[in-house]
Amino acid sequence: MDVENGHNLGPPTNDVKKPFLIGVAGGTASGKSTVCKKIMMELGQADMDHTKRQVVTISQDSFYRELTAAEEAKAFHGLYNFDHPDAFNEQLIYETLEAILKGFKVEIPGYDYKTNSLDHKNKITIYPADVVLFEGILVFYFPKIRDLFHMKLFVDTDSDTRLARRVPRDINERGRDLDTVLTQYMTYVKPAFEEFCSPTKKFADVIIPRGADNTVAIDLIVQHIRDLLNNRSRKGSSSNIQLAMSNESGDSYQAIRRFSTLCKELTIQSNVFFEKNKNLTQH
């Protein structure tokens, strides 16, 4: 298979790992990366040698398009729209995820927020894994990509909290100044969240209110991934997950159904609770 920019490093080895692919969407600074980190930590994967990890996380930011010189100048002043779907290389995301799903090892660039560019010097090699988390603001926006996910999570953190987190993060970690952060937020980030990101919440199997603070939801997700991994090692072959999923009577398929239903119920119950008790929060 031919992946643009040589991201695809060749055919799978004998022990083909065809991963369970989880999409993690949500607004900027909602806690997507933190949720993924927590999942990896609880599974004991975070400090593991990355060639041996069973669970890996990939960021959609590695798939931003390269900017022209004129766009770079705009971006420097917070006047480039990084929150519009056109800012991403949709085809490359699709081809890369397809390659991963086939058990290929792939290489992706890092992302440098200080220069607003892909970091080809610090490439990230994604080795075949059992579970791949793909996180980003618009991972459910493109239908072809959305359809690749076996499970879709949406991290739902309120806009005030997200802005309050984004401002210090962008200043301290992404080399921005306050004016630029606020200009970009008001001009592009907030309108694009409402137009492109927020509507994709409806595609989620599980909504995680309050992001990484929601330990109940994270524990459920972790337990589900553990079940998948145990199931896989019990059956001896990694491709069995795919077989079980395509067969509605398979253990994995049933586990996913149970998990999905449970989480939907939890989400509905907590929303109903907060809706009914809105006035409690005013005291």
Ligand X SMILES: Nc1ncnc2c1ncn2[C@@H]1O[C@H](COP(=O)(O)OP(=O)(O)O)[C@@H](O)[C@H]1O
Ligand Y SMILES: Nc1ccn([C@@H]2O[C@H](COP(=O)(O)O)[C@@H](O)[C@H]2O)c(=O)n1
Q: Encoding tokens for residue 66?
A: 């390269």
Instruction: Compute the distance between CA of residue 20 and CA of residue 148 in angstroms, rounded to an integer.
Output: 10
**Residue 20 binds which entry of ligand Y, ligand X, none, CB below 5-8 Å type-dependent:** none
| Range in contact with ligand X (rule: CB under 6 A) among 29-37, 99-107, 123-131, 267-275 | 29-37
> Is there binding between residue 23 and ligand X (CB under 6 A)?
no
Q: Does 211 bind ligand X (CB under 6 A)?
A: yes
Question: Which residues sit opposite 132 in a β-bridge?
Answer: 21, 56
Q: Which two tokens stand for residue 156?
A: 């739902």
Q: 104-123 burial by CB neighbour count: b if 16+ within 10 A, else e? A: bbbbbbebbbeebebeeeee
Q: Which is nearer to ligand X, 90 or 213 (CB)?
A: 213
165 binds, among ligand X, ligand Y, none (CB under 5 to 8 A by kind): ligand X
* Among ligand X, ligand Y, none, residue 31 binds (CB under 5-8 Å by kind): ligand X
Do residues 53 and 45 lie in contact, with contact meaning Cβ atoms separated by under 8 Å? yes
Smaller CB separation from ligand X, 160 or 248: 160
Tell me the closest approach of the beta carbon of residue 14 to ligand Y, in angstroms: 37
CB of 72 to ligand Y, least distance (A): 10
Task: Give the shortest CB-33-to-ligand X separation in angstroms.
Answer: 3
Residue of 65, 74, 102, 165 that binds ligand X (CB under 6 A): 165
Question: CB of residue 197 vs ligand X: minimum separation in angstroms?
Answer: 11
| 28 neighbors 99 (Cβ within 8 angstroms) | no
Complete edge-to-edge strand list for the sheet that includes strand 55-59: 55-59, 131-135, 20-26, 151-156, 206-209
Partner in contact with 82, chosen from ligand Y, ligand X, none, beta carbon below 5 to 8 Å by kind = ligand Y
Residue in this structure with the two tokens 């990484």, named with its chain if needed: 212
152 strand-pairing partners: 23
Residue closer to ligand Y by CB (options 111, 259) is 111
Part of the chain binding ligand X (CB under 6 A), chosen from 103-111, 184-192, 194-202, 211-219: 211-219
Among ligand X, ligand Y, none, what binds residue 212 when CB lies within 5 to 8 Å by partner kind? ligand X
**Of 176-184, 205-213, 227-235, 242-250, which segment contacts ligand X by CB under 6 A?**
205-213
- What minimum distance in Å lies between the beta carbon of 192 and ligand Y? 8
Q: Which of ligand Y, ligand X, none does 74 bind, CB closer than 5 to 8 A by kind?
A: none
Q: Which residues bind ligand Y (CB under 6 A)?
A: 28-29, 32, 61, 64, 82-83, 113, 116, 137, 189
Residues of this chain that bind ligand X (CB under 6 A): 26, 28-34, 165, 169, 211-213
